[in-house]
């Protein structure tokens, strides 16, 4: 009995001494991983991610952030894709791509392609749209034609898997190489600013 009690006390003492050492080693390893400029899973180094966030933060002082919020309200859906890709260095230039899939079939797909640096004066911005399905609405009295003055309130999701496949294909096609490395996903916030997401 006495021998097993001593063994338990010695085991607890060893664990009590080892635990702070393990915590210290884990903290040093975590800091060593964060301090380097090695690429993350998306291929961006720490300084490139920081530079990308600075570049997209400059949009906050322009009407672009207002446009992003307005488009989101218009299509009644948050962006289906938001992506930032490093396209050149010296100065770091980023391609930013935001794509919306509409809630209603009558609303268009909308996408914005931007090339930006930390100087908003050098940025280029391109907005485009495409109709997801043929224009719809209420039928005229003849039962064969659509009253152009009416609004189609059909949900886009009601068109099923073929429409979902078309949405994914269009999202990829209009983004070009923005999904390649080095890059990162981003998020559109309610105030119109963009935030890089961890890779």
pLDDT averaged per 10 residues in sequence order, the chain, 199 residues: 54 52 45 60 93 94 92 95 96 96 90 93 93 70 75 81 92 95 96 93
What pLDDT is stored for residue 36 in this prediction?
A: 57
Q: How many Å apart are CA 173 and CA 116, to the nearest integer? A: 21
Q: Is the dihedral of CA 154, 127, 193, 53 positive or negative?
A: positive
What pLDDT is stored for residue 56 in this prediction?
A: 95
What pLDDT is stored for residue 47 in this prediction?
A: 93
Q: How many Å apart are CA 106 and CA 75, to the nearest integer? A: 9
What pLDDT is stored for residue 32 in this prediction?
A: 41
Largest CA distance in the chain: 99
* Contact (CB, 8 A) for 109 and 100: yes
Total-model pTM: 0.75
């Amino acid at each position: 009995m006495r021998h097993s009690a001593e063994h338990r006390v010695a085991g607890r003492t060893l664990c009590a001494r080892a635990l702070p050492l393990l915590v210290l080693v884990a903290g040093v390893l975590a800091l060593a991983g964060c301090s380097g400029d090695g690429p993350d899973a998306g291929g961006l180094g720490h300084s490139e991610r920081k530079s990308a966030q600075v570049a997209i933060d400059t949009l906050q002082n322009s009407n672009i952030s207002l446009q992003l919020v307005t488009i989101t309200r218009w299509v009644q859906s948050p962006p289906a894709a938001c992506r930032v890709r490093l396209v050149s260095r010296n100065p770091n230039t980023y391609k930013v791509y935001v794509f919306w899939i509409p809630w209603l079939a009558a609303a268009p797909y909308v996408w914005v392609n931007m090339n930006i640096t930390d100087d908003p004066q050098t940025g280029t911005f391109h907005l485009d749209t495409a109709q997801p399905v043929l224009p719809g609405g209420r039928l005229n009295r003849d039962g064969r034609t659509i009253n152009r003055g009416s609004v189609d309130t059909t949900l886009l999701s009601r068109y099923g898997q073929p429409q979902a496949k078309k949405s994914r294909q269009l999202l990829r096609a209009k983004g070009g190489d923005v999904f390649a490395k080095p890059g990162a996903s981003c998020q559109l916030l309610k105030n119109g600013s963009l935030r890089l997401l961890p890779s």
